Amino acid sequence: MMFSGIIERMFVLMDEIGSGHRDLNAHEAAWLAKVAAFDRSDEWRAAGFLSSTAALRNVCRMTHGVARAHIELARKLETLPEVAAAFGRGDIARAHAAVIASACTPERAEEMGAVEGELVEIARHHTAKELGGVVRYLADAIDGDGGAAADDVQYGRRHYHGSRTLDGMLCVDALYDREAADIHDTAIDAELARDLRPGDTRTLSQRKADAVTNLFRQSLDRGEIGTTRAVRPHVTYVVHADEQPAATSDLIDLARAERRRAGRVSAATLERILCDADVSRVVMAGDSEILDVGRASRTVTTAQWKALVIRDGHCQAPGCDQPPERCEAHHRIHWTRGGTTDLDNLQLLCWHHHRQTHNHDAQARAA
C-alpha cells in the first residue's frame, strides 16, 4: 500500500509539472503576441527608439540578439496561425515554434502553410531538435537545391555584437552558421587542450574565454592580422614639449592616459604589457603639432629572447610547462622600478601566470 501511494503521488506530481509547463508555454505565447502588437503599433518610435528591437532591449533589459530573436518570432507567428494557436494553448513550446518559424521564409510560405498542421502535430509529440530534422528535410525538398537556400538563410542570421560594461569588460552576443560554428568549436577545443595546466582551478567557461583570447593574441603577435608587422604589441607614450616627464611614474601616468583604443588601464596591467613590448615616444607641441617620433626600442632584444628560451625552456611558474611561444619575457624587478633588461632579471612566464604575477605584486605593494 505504501509503495502504491508513492507511485500515485509521483503521477500526480508529473501531471502538475506537465500542466505547469503548458501554462508557461501559453503565457509566453501571450507575451509574444503583445510584442507583435507593440512592434506593429510604432509606439516605440514615438518613445524615441530607432527600432522595436532597441525598445524591447531597453524595457526588458535584454541583449540585442535576444531582443531581436523575440521580435522576429513574434512577427513570424502572425503568419503561422496554427503554430500560434498550438503555442497559445501550451501544446508546444517556444523552441518548437521557433524551429518552424525560422524555416518559413517568404519563398517557402505557400508550401509550408500547406503542411503547417502536420508540423504542429509532430511538435506536440517530439523534441524541438527532432522537429528541426523534419523541418530541414522539408525545407530542402521545397527549395530543391540540396540545402543551399537553407544554408543561405542561416548564414544571413549570423551576427556579432560586442558592448563594453561600465567597468570596461566586453559582453559578447554572437550567432554563427554551422560551418563557422564547427571552426570555432574545433579551434577552441584544441586551445582548451593545449592551455590546460596542472592543478588548473579555472571553470570551463573561464577556460573557453581564455582560449578565445589566446587565439586572438597569437594571431596579433605573429603579425597575421592587425598592423603590428609581426612585432610584439607596442605602447606609445605622448610627451608634450612643455612638460617634464623625467620621473618614471610620470611616464606611467602619461601612458595610462594616452593608451590607444583601450582607454585608461591599471598600473598593474600597464606594467605587465611593458614587460615585453615595443615602446615609442611621441613629442608634441600643443594638441596637434608633432615635433618628434622616437624609434621603437624593444625592451627584450631578439638575442635576449633566444637566450631566455634556451635557458628557461618553458613558463617558470611552479608546475607550469607552457612552451615559449605561449610565454612573455617578465622582469622580476620591473624596469620602471629600477630593474634591468638582462637575463638575470628576466624569466619566461605564460600569459596566465604573467598576469597573475603582476596583479599579485601590485596587491602586495598596496598592502
Q: Grid coordinates representing 162?
A: 560586442
Q: How many CA atoms lie within 13 A of 349 on its CB side?
A: 21
Look at residue 165 in the predicted model and tell me its pLDDT: 86
Q: Give, in order, the Cα–Cα distances in Å from 107 to each of 139, 141, 145, 163.
A: 10, 13, 13, 35
Look at residue 168 in the predicted model and tell me its pLDDT: 85
Look at residue 82 in the predicted model and tell me its pLDDT: 96
Average pLDDT, the chain: 79
Beta bridge partners of 43: none
Q: Indicate the pLDDT class of residue 260, thresholds 50, 70 and 90.
A: very low
Kindly tell me if the per-residue pLDDT of 364 is higher than 90.
no
Beta bridge partners of 159: 175
Q: Indicate the pLDDT class of residue 14, thresholds 50, 70 and 90.
A: confident
pLDDT in tens, 185-242: 999 999 999 888 888 889 999 999 999 999 988 887 776 665 544 445 555 555 554 4
CB 349 within 8 A of CB 328: yes
Name the residue with higher pLDDT: 286 or 64: 64
Q: Count H helices and E strands in the chain, helices first.
A: 16, 8
CB 171 within 8 A of CB 162: yes
pLDDT in tens, 75-125: 999 999 999 999 999 999 999 999 999 888 888 889 999 999 999 999 999
Counting residues of the chain whose pLDDT is more than 70, the rounded percentage is 75
Look at residue 246 in the predicted model and tell me its pLDDT: 41
Count Cβ atoms within 10 A of the Cβ of residue 242 and give its class: 0-12 exposed, 13-18 middle, 19 or more buried. Answer: exposed
Look at residue 205 in the predicted model and tell me its pLDDT: 94
Look at residue 120 in the predicted model and tell me its pLDDT: 95
Q: Indicate the pLDDT class of residue 1, thresholds 50, 70 and 90.
A: very low
Kindly tell me if the per-residue pLDDT of 256 is higher than 60.
no
Look at residue 230 in the predicted model and tell me its pLDDT: 47
Kindly tell me if the per-residue pLDDT of 353 is higher than 80.
yes
Kindly tell me if the per-residue pLDDT of 157 is higher than 50.
yes
Count Cβ atoms within 10 A of the Cβ of residue 298 and give its class: 0-12 exposed, 13-18 middle, 19 or more buried. Answer: middle
pLDDT in tens, 30-86: 999 999 999 999 888 988 898 999 999 999 998 888 899 999 999 999 999 999 999
Name the residue with higher pLDDT: 350 or 209: 209
